[in-house]
């Protein structure tokens, strides 16, 4: 057979088995030529790589068939040789712009085979590390080419980081892959992935997107799941052709005679950079592939960590609990979560220290009695060298590849250890931990942290399981034990392993009361750290990983800090954090001492509740690591409007006009806008909105709608949505009747546009002062009840 082809409206794919090379052209303009497959394997006798050749393979073609991703055209090849059976399968989705493939290796010999990597795609001169480059170096065949456009323009690459805290964002050819300067002291990223120090050379985990900024097009390369192996990409941004290697990490696992390993599906998706939701096809396919259910509503609550850290006491929790109960009408929180610091000793998550004399179960009871959901932090897969667990169960500690315990990073000033999560006793121990916390103590919200410690490189009790399989098994055990009623939040978690397991997932590093990273009073050394606690690093990841929200899980952006003292954050920085967290639609967890919050900051927090539905679009997320253009459409009784935010990442104020058509508004001669942080509103002529300069690290956040000459609700300080408080809106002649409610009483300012000067404005029958702002805009001071009636006559 000399070629195998698959066609869809989106792709045309040709594989030449004899050369072991394939081509793919996308209707979007992207083109891959002469890409290679391969595998790196060993036996105890030496290497036995497969360099992708498939000559003599038996073809099997099931034609067109249904799949979890709509109808597909399917074809595959099977080849047996040298004790190995290789299966390569390909699927062109007919209803969505996805092309899928996977590889399977079966050991048909009588000896153990060790798998180092499965090479899904190698193209370009620098598809480093793989069999193809070695083969190319030996003069065999061409290295292949990858082009996003016939006439390549300005290129960037979006990289997804390995775990919750890892960097995510777009980088250009002149940039370096962000990396820590703290070496092995910091928690490891995917320890099996080499990171280049060259400019324009990047790695990505699970997925990455190569983008041609000039031609507004791109291609996503990724894996639909991470259940079999961790899937990794490395890329070099050269023009005109890029180099890309996409591989499944085999971790050196043993494939026993008769056993096989099949990769997760690899995937290509064409990307229209100016489309409304450029990565939607991939993001939805991942959710479907991992069986993600209906999902939970975004958790709203309080967490002890960013105020009290390890010194937290029962009294701190109880004081905040009483305060939260008292403030319920202003800030209706639901979850009350105790973080790290309560434990009697390292890795003993059910025994409390003397700052918690009452113990965990009574505390959960108190929280419940006050009407909140009790939440607890635990880090089940990490421990300290001297912990009781390490001493009593040395066999539970994961051994590194070169002997000695594997390093889980220097957390809390000790070189911590990871557990061997394939060990049956570790699994049973974990099951007991979850059972006790949820079913015995009554914690219905668990934040499970430092989960990467379960996938360190090392020699496992079960050598036939990849790191991805090991984590997958224990996370599903946790999910099953916790039962569906408990909300599970992943943290420090390899991202792909959490899909279909966690209700919410931390998608960035820790927040801190500082914009730039800072440690021991110094910013100098720590400022460039890409994953060190700081608002800057949090915002970057929240914006980069926005498309995951409400598909894979609820995004947890990490806590919001609104405190006015004991912080280095300026009011503008707090507003940036509040605006981005809020527009993300993800979890909203405050981590301040509620008893000392000023009235102003309580009012700010109150605006954010309930959380916004949907997910914002970040227009420049695939083009820069400091994205600054955020849009979230709204509709309701008040009509249709758009929330637009523009961030200023600079250390000094900047005037940044907003081009409303660029932000997705329809062209209109006039627009109405309202800026609730600045408490002002107005009418703009033409689509360019010129507002005062944005402070350093601040945000310009406006609600905008085309002006139609009809009475309009423009925005308010009642709720961040700028209009969801309006439950009914009826205009009769020169009278307006509106129902206002956010489910609780609230005081604030609102802006309306009226066709004439108001003769009478009343809320629940009481007169309201309307201040003219010019051009038909009026500001109203209002205090709504749980439900209120606004009438205006002009």
Please tell me whether residue 415 adopts helix, strand or coil conformation: strand
Q: Does 449 bind ligand 9PG (CB under 6 A)?
A: yes
Name the residue nearer to ligand 9PG (CB basis): 290 or 343. Answer: 343
If binding is defined by CB under 6 A, does position 181 make contact with ligand 9PG? no
C-alpha torsion 495→500→505→508, nearest 10? 20
Instruction: Determine contact, residues 316/603, Cβ cutoff 8 Å.
Output: no
Looking at the Cβ atoms of 186 and 637, the one nearer to ligand 9PG is 186
Interface stretch with ligand 9PG, choices 5-13, 59-67, 409-417, 610-618 (CB under 6 A):
409-417
Write the interaction track for ligand 9PG spanning residues 24-63; mark x where CB under 6 A is met and - where it is not. Answer: ----------------------------------------
Give the count of residues interacting with ligand 9PG (CB under 6 A): 11
Residue 752: in which H helix or E strand, if any? Answer: strand 746-753
- String of DSSP letters for 657-722: -EETTTTTPPP-SEEEEEETTTTEEEEEESSEE--SPBPTT-EEEEEEEE--SS-EEEEESS-TTS
Nearest residue to 634 via CA among 607, 609, 664: 664
CB burial class (10 A; 0-12, 13-18, 19+) of residue 783? middle
Please state the closest distance from residue 519 (CB atom) to ligand 9PG, in A.
Answer: 11
Q: How far apart are CA 754 and CA 757, in angstroms?
A: 7
Residue 409 near ligand 9PG by CB under 6 A: yes
The reply to whether 339 sits near ligand 9PG by the rule CB under 6 A is yes
**For ligand 9PG, the closer CB: 251 or 339:** 339
What is the radius of gyration, based on Cα positions, of the chain?
Answer: 28
Binds ligand 9PG by CB under 6 A, chosen from 121, 491, 504, 590: 491
Please report how close the Cβ of residue 490 comes to ligand 9PG at its closest, in angstroms.
Answer: 11
Site for ligand 9PG in 267-326 (CB under 6 A): 305
Cα–Cα dist 634/639, whole Å: 8
User: Does the protein bind ligand 9PG through residue 189 (CB under 6 A)?
Assistant: no
* CB crowding 727-759: b at 16 or more within 10 Å, else e: eebeeeeeebebbbbbebebebbbbbbbeeebe
Q: Shortest distance, CB of residue 491 to ligand 9PG, whole angstroms? A: 5
Task: Choose the binding region for ligand 9PG from 230-238, 390-398, 405-413, 651-659 (rule: CB under 6 A).
Answer: 405-413
Q: Which of 377, 381, 502, 753: binder of ligand 9PG (CB under 6 A)? A: 377
Query: Residue with CB nearest ligand 9PG?
Result: 340
Nearer to ligand 9PG, 508 or 687 (CB): 508
Residue 443 binding ligand 9PG, by CB under 6 A = no
Taking CB under 6 A as the rule, does residue 502 contact ligand 9PG? Answer: no
Q: If you ran DSSP here, which 8-state letter would residue 390 be given?
A: H
Q: How far is the CB of 379 from ligand 9PG (least distance, A)?
A: 7
Query: Which of 89/510 has CB closer to ligand 9PG?
Result: 510
Q: How many CB atoms sit inside 10 A of residue 766's CB?
A: 10
Is 340 near ligand 9PG (CB under 6 A)? Answer: yes
Whether the Cβ atoms of residue 382 and residue 419 lie closer than 8 Å to each other: yes
Binding ligand 9PG by CB under 6 A: which of 60, 412, 525, 690?
412
**Closest distance between ligand 9PG and the C-beta of residue 507, in Å?**
11
Dmax of the chain from CA atoms? 93
Closest distance between ligand 9PG and the C-beta of residue 410, in Å? 6
Q: Is residue 337 close enough to count as binding ligand 9PG by CB under 6 A?
A: no
Interacting positions 317-336 with ligand 9PG (CB under 6 A): none
Closest distance to ligand 9PG from the beta carbon of 24 (Å): 40
Helices and strands in the chain: count of H runs, count of E runs: 11, 48
Question: Which residue, 410 or 791, is less far from ligand 9PG as judged by CB?
Answer: 410
Q: Which residue, 372 or 452, is less far from ligand 9PG as judged by CB? A: 452
Q: Residue 547 carries which DSSP code? A: G
Distance CA 483, CA 501 (A): 11
Nearest to ligand 9PG of 410, 734 (CB atom): 410
Token pair of 754 as six digits: 């009226």
Question: 């939440």: which residue's tokens?
Answer: 375
- Smallest gap, in angstroms, from Cβ of residue 340 to ligand 9PG? 3
Which C-beta is closer to ligand 9PG: that of 405 or that of 606? Answer: 405
Return the range that interacts with ligand 9PG (CB under 6 A); candidates 71-79, 149-157, 406-414, 679-687.
406-414
User: 599 phi and psi, to 5 degrees?
Assistant: -60, -40
201 neighbors 236 (Cβ within 8 angstroms): yes
> Closest CB to ligand 9PG among 452 and 649?
452
Residue 483, Cβ neighbours under 10 Å: how many?
A: 12
Q: Is the CB of 164 or the CB of 466 nearer to ligand 9PG?
A: 164
3 state SS for 9-75: CCEEEEEECCCCEEEEEECCCCEEEEEEEEEEEEECCEECCECCCCCCCEEEEEEEEEEECEEEEEE
Measured from the CB atom, the residue of 284 and 449 that comes closer to ligand 9PG is 449
Using CB under 6 A, list all residues that contact ligand 9PG: 187, 305, 339-340, 377, 409, 411-412, 449, 491, 510
């Amino acid at each position: 057979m000399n070629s195998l082809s698959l066609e869809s409206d989106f792709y045309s794919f040709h594989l030449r088995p004899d050369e072991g090379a394939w081509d793919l052209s996308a209707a979007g303009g992207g083109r891959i030529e002469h890409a290679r497959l391969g595998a790196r394997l060993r036996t105890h006798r030496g290497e036995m790589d497969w360099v992708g050749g498939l000559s003599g393979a038996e073809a099997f073609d099931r034609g067109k068939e249904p799949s979890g991703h709509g109808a597909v055209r399917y074809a595959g090849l099977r080849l047996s040789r040298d004790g190995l059976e290789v299966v390569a399968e390909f699927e062109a989705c007919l209803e969505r712009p996805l092309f899928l493939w996977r590889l399977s290796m079966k050991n048909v010999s009588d000896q153990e085979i060790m798998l180092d990597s499965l090479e899904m795609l190698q193209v370009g001169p620098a598809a480093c590390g793989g069999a193809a480059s070695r083969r190319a170096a030996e003069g065999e065949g061409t290295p292949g080419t990858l082009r996003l456009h016939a006439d390549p323009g300005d290129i960037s690459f979006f990289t997804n980081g390995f775990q919750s805290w890892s960097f995510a964002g777009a980088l250009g050819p002149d940039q370096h892959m962000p990396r820590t300067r703290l070496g092995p002291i910091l928690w490891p990223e995917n320890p099996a992935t080499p990171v280049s120090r060259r400019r324009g050379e990047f790695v990505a985990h699970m997925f990455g997107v190569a983008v041609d900024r000039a031609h507004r097009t791109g291609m996503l390369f990724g894996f639909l799941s991470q259940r079999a192996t961790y899937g990794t990409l490395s890329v070099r941004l050269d023009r005109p052709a890029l180099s890309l290697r996409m591989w499944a990490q085999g971790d050196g696992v043993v494939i026993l005679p008769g056993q096989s390993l099949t990769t997760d599906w690899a995937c290509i998706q064409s990307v229209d950079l100016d489309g409304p939701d450029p990565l939607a096809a991939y993001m939805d396919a991942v959710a479907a592939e991992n069986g993600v259910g209906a999902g939970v509503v975004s958790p709203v609550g309080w967490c002890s960590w960013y105020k009290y850290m390890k010194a937290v006491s029962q009294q701190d929790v109880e004081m905040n609990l009483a305060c939260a109960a008292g403030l319920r009408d202003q800030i209706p929180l639901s979850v009350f979560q105790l973080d790290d610091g309560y434990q009697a000793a390292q890795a003993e998550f059910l025994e409390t220290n003397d700052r918690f004399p009452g113990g965990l179960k009574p505390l959960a009871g108190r929280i419940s009695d006050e009407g909140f959901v009790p939440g607890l932090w635990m880090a089940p897969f990490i421990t300290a060298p001297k912990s009781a667990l390490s001493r009593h169960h040395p066999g539970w500690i994961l051994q590194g590849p070169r002997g000695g315990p594997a390093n889980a990073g220097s957390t809390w000033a000790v070189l911590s250890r990871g557990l061997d999560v394939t060990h049956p006793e570790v699994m049973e121990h974990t099951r007991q931990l979850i059972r006790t916390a949820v079913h015995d103590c009554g914690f219905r919200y668990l934040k499970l942290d430092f989960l990467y410690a379960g996938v360190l490189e090392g020699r496992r009790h079960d050598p036939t399981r990849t790191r991805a399989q090991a984590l997958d098994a224990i996370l599903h055990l946790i999910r099953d034990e916790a039962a569906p009623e408990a909300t599970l939040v992943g943290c420090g978690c390899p991202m792909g392993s959490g899909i279909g397991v966690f209700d919410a997932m931390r998608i960035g590093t820790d927040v801190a009361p500082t914009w730039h990273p800072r440690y021991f009073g110094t910013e100098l050394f720590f400022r460039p750290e890409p994953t060190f606690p700081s608002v800057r690093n949090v915002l970057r990841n929240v914006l980069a990983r926005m498309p995951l929200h409400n598909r894979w899980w609820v995004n947890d952006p990490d806590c919001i800090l609104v405190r006015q003292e004991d912080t280095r954050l300026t009011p503008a920085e707090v507003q940036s954090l509040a605006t981005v967290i809020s527009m993300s639609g993800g979890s909203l967890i405050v981590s301040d001492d509620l008893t000392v919050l000023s009235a102003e900051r309580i009012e700010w927090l109150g605006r954010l509740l309930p959380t916004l539905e949907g997910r914002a679009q970040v227009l420049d997320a695939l083009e820069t690591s400091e994205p600054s253009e955020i849009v979230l459409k709204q509709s309701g009784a008040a009509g249709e409007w758009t929330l637009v935010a523009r961030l200023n990442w600079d250390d000094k104020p900047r005037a940044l006009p907003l081009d409303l058509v660029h932000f997705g508004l329809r062209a209109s001669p006039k627009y109405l806008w309202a800026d609730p942080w600045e408490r002002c509103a107005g009418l703009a002529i033409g689509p360019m909105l010129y507002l005062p300069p944005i402070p350093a690290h601040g945000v310009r956040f406006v609600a905008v709608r085309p002006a139609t000459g009809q009475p309009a609700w423009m925005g308010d300080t009642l709720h961040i949505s700028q209009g969801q408080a309006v439950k009914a809106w009826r205009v009769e002649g020169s009278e307006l009747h509106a129902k206002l409610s956010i489910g609780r009483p609230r005081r604030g300012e609102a802006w309306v546009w009226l066709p004439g000067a108001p003769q009478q404005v009343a809320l629940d029958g009481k007169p309201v002062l309307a201040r003219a702002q010019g051009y038909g805009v009026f500001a109203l001071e209002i205090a709504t009840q749980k439900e209120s009636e606004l009438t205006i006559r002009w």
